[in-house]
Amino acid sequence: MTFREVMIAALIQGAVFALVKALIHRGGARTFEKVTGEWPGN
């Protein structure tokens, strides 16, 4: 693998990780809202 390929793979992996993390946090917040009736942090 070239350095460029490694960097591209790292960027893709980081983007996927960020997306999954955001989806998990959003899902947790929506569940919290359903249980308590309030959005977290309000």
What is the per-residue DSSP string for 1-38? --HHHHHHHHHHHHHHHHHHHHHHHHHHHHHHHHHHSS
Q: What are the sequence ranges of the domains in the chain? A: 1-42
* 17-26: pLDDT as tens digits: 999 999 999 9
Predicted local distance difference test score (pLDDT) of residue 42: 85
Give CA–CA dist 12/4, Å, rounded. Answer: 12
* 25-41: pLDDT as tens digits: 999 999 999 999 999 98
